[in-house]
Amino acid sequence: MSNTFDIRYDRRVSEQFLQYFAPDGLLSSLPAYAKSGLFPLDLRFRRAATSGAEHATLYVGLTSVLDVHHTKVGSFKLKAHTTHQKNGGFDPAWSSSMTVDQLALVWPAVELYLDRIIPIAAESHGRKEGAVQAAVSSFRSVGRVVLDREVTPSFKDKAFKKEFMSACQKPILEALQNADLGFSKVPTKLGNECDAIAVDDGGRVLAVEVKPLGVGSIAYVVAQATMYARILQGWLDAAASEGDRPVDVLRGMLDQRNAVRLAPQMELPDVLSPKVVPVVALQRGASSEMIRRMCVVRDVLKEIDTGVAEAEIYEISLTGEWIPLDESRLPDGRPRARRNYARESNLLGQRWKQSSAVLPAEAKAPGEVRARGGAMVEVDYALPRAWATHNLLPEVREPALALFEQHQIAWHQSIDGGPTNHLRSSQVQCVNALGQMMSDPERIKLAFGDVLDIAEIRDFGEIDAAEKGRYLTFEFVGKGDYFGEGVTRGSQSTSVDAAFAYTTPDGRDALALVEWKFTETYRGADPKADAKAPTRLKRYESALRHPASPIDVADIELTDLFHEPVYQLVRQQLLAAELERDAEVKADLITVVHVLSPDNLAYQSSYISPALRRRGATASDVWASLLRTPDRFIGLDPAVFLDPAITSEEYALRYGGGR
């Protein structure tokens, strides 16, 4: 690595230092603290551009509670602010040089210090700015990763830095000074320490300005984010030798965070997007007027050549969720009500019910459903109980009823042994969408061909002789009782909503397990999870800890997996793995296909155990972070089934309003 440079940014640490933070390393508890989700914690690595000195910092909010310094000869020193030393019982002797063996002797005491100081520091430094900074910095997504915080490149000398910074801010400030903004005075100077740097799977570099609620004006945050982006753009554009190119640095930082389980697996393209993206991460709750002013500044900067990409603005929740401004706010800055997918689906079902030509008049009356309190109530989004079988569309009704009866498959919320009368049933929607595929393999290809590598659809009798003559079946549980649950299709055992077998173009036998979600959401922890934990551990622990388990459970309490929706996802992925290992199942490749509308935002906000929540902002992000082989789990937007060539005109009318 050359020490001659104009501008450099590189937080990669040595492999020798990094190994101590790996799951079996001496310092592995530091990533575990950072991932806990119980306090606003964050762990970051640091390395000096010229000397190569390196250290790791554990933050609580905005304050560092522990620095672990590592020397070239392999010794260690621990540092903490004197206030934290006093409040947490930090031994000053730890700041003296130690060998790795000496550090190992004192490390249990260091962890006790952290247990004492973290709650104290969270009170003073993690309630406002610190909480938002930690939420943004620890955000995990399969498509975007925050790599570092408090980012400032190194420069060859002070004179060059001064000239560079002046050039970065000049066009921004001039544009604002020349604009008729109609509000507060334009700043005369912009900061130069970027709050966070992130990358996404499209190869974009994001320069992030983090703005907590109630901490100064937000009017000029886009200008500040643009300043950060211009600084990083200078680094991106600077000449660099092989191994020190920005893509090498960022990929290395990403790989290192992944190695210590602080970031999910994400592929960074070989070529970065040429323009850095200014990003504002604004805590939710700002006034409409402040949002309006911020957007005025954004629009002014759109009109000039800033040398970077257009700014993106997100409102941030304390879970780390990034909500695009146009989804969270109306054009005038007022908060936008987030979509209620269940209510929209109820209304869509009601309209279909009243307008459909396939329902007799008697079926268009209100139907009874059980309310959350347990009472039976009449609603328009259900059919009368006597007409519940008409919840199945005409083209699938008879073959579906015959299949369920033949295999004694349970209907969810069944009425008289048949389907539910609730128009929003996910089981009914699944059967309505896939029912014709039992006898028509071409529809399977049309629906799933874009997400699965399908050459030919196989007779499902190759998987289960009792299904011979069908190409798709419902409520599939596999050939054996892999988890000691008892095998009942449709209830009380691990199953998937549908399954079909196929061959790949290279001749492999494959099996698709389809799980179908409609308007499901899971609002809270399972109150019976603790009581059921012994049984669940007995059933699933060996599969979860199997060397070939599809789920990475290192550093995870297994009981954190026993709450919906993660619990169901876990069981179905384990089922796929068991089927793939079963020599009697004619399938070398088994994939779970998860059908879920992107409009069902409530599902993504479902309950996740606190220890897992920091793995991602959405349920899907958290789940993706747990998978060892992400390509064995594929999401599918159910909008594909609104094509009448795949389903029917009636299906498109019922679930899509005819679109």
Query: In the predicted model, is pLDDT for residue 133 greater than 90?
Result: no
Residue with the bigger pLDDT between 123 and 333: it is 123
Mean pLDDT, rounded, for 63-80:
95
Question: Of 28-42, 167-181, 458-472, 543-557, which range is least confident?
Answer: 28-42
Residue 229 tokens read as: 């982006």
CB 623 within 8 A of CB 571: no
Mean pLDDT, rounded, for 492-511:
96
- C-alpha span between 12 and 586 (Å, rounded): 46
* pLDDT digit string, tens, across residues 235-256: 999 877 777 899 999 999 999 9
Mean pLDDT, rounded, for 17-35:
93
CB 97 within 8 A of CB 76: yes
Q: Which pLDDT score is estimated for 147?
A: 93
- C-alpha span between 552 and 563 (Å, rounded): 17
> How many Å is the Cα radius of gyration of the chain?
28
Residue with the bigger pLDDT between 1 and 340: it is 340
Q: Which pLDDT score is estimated for 1?
A: 42
Q: Which pLDDT score is estimated for 3?
A: 52
pLDDT exceeding 90 applies to what percent of the chain? 73
* pLDDT digit string, tens, across residues 382-426: 999 999 999 999 999 999 999 999 999 999 999 999 999 999 999
Q: Which pLDDT score is estimated for 467?
A: 96
- Please state whether the peptide bond connecting residue 565 to the residue before it is cis, i.e. omega within 30 degrees of 0: yes
Phi/psi region, residue 493 (left: phi>0; alpha: psi -120 to 50; beta: rest), is beta
* pLDDT digit string, tens, across residues 297-321: 999 999 999 999 999 999 887 777 7
Mean pLDDT, rounded, for 546-566:
95
The pTM (predicted TM-score) of the whole model is: 0.64
Query: In the predicted model, is pLDDT for residue 144 greater than 90?
Result: no
Q: Is the dihedral of CA 23, 25, 27, 29 positive or negative?
A: positive
* pLDDT digit string, tens, across residues 275-300: 999 999 999 888 888 999 999 999 99
Residues ≥6 apart with Cβ < 8 Å to 465: none
- C-alpha span between 275 and 10 (Å, rounded): 19
Angle of the 566-581 helix axis to the 619-626 helix axis, nearest 10: 30
* pLDDT digit string, tens, across residues 153-206: 999 899 999 999 999 999 999 999 999 898 878 999 999 999 999 998 889 999
Dihedral, CA of residue 146, residue 148, residue 150 and residue 155, to nearest 10: -130
Question: Of 4-8, 504-508, 540-544, which range is least confident?
Answer: 4-8
Q: Which pLDDT score is estimated for 569?
A: 98
End-to-end CA distance of the chain: 58
Q: Which pLDDT score is estimated for 270?
A: 87
Q: Which pLDDT score is estimated for 193?
A: 92
Query: In the predicted model, is pLDDT for residue 603 greater than 90?
Result: yes
Identify the helix (H) or strand (E) that includes residue 471. Answer: none
Q: Which pLDDT score is estimated for 338?
A: 66
- C-alpha span between 161 and 152 (Å, rounded): 11
Average pLDDT score, the chain: 92
Residue with the bigger pLDDT between 509 and 332: it is 509
Query: In the predicted model, is pLDDT for residue 623 greater than 90?
Result: yes
Residue with the bigger pLDDT between 434 and 214: it is 434
* pLDDT digit string, tens, across residues 512-529: 999 999 999 998 888 889
Highest mean pLDDT among 125-129, 241-245, 368-372, 553-557: 553-557
Q: Which pLDDT score is estimated for 2?
A: 47
CB 457 within 8 A of CB 509: no
pLDDT band at 490 (very low <50, low <70, confident <90, very high): confident
* pLDDT digit string, tens, across residues 586-601: 999 999 999 999 999 8
The 8-class DSSP code of residue 2 comes to -
Residue 602 tokens read as: 């409530």
Residue whose tokens read 């060998």:
99
Q: Which pLDDT score is estimated for 35?
A: 82
Mean pLDDT, rounded, for 134-163:
85
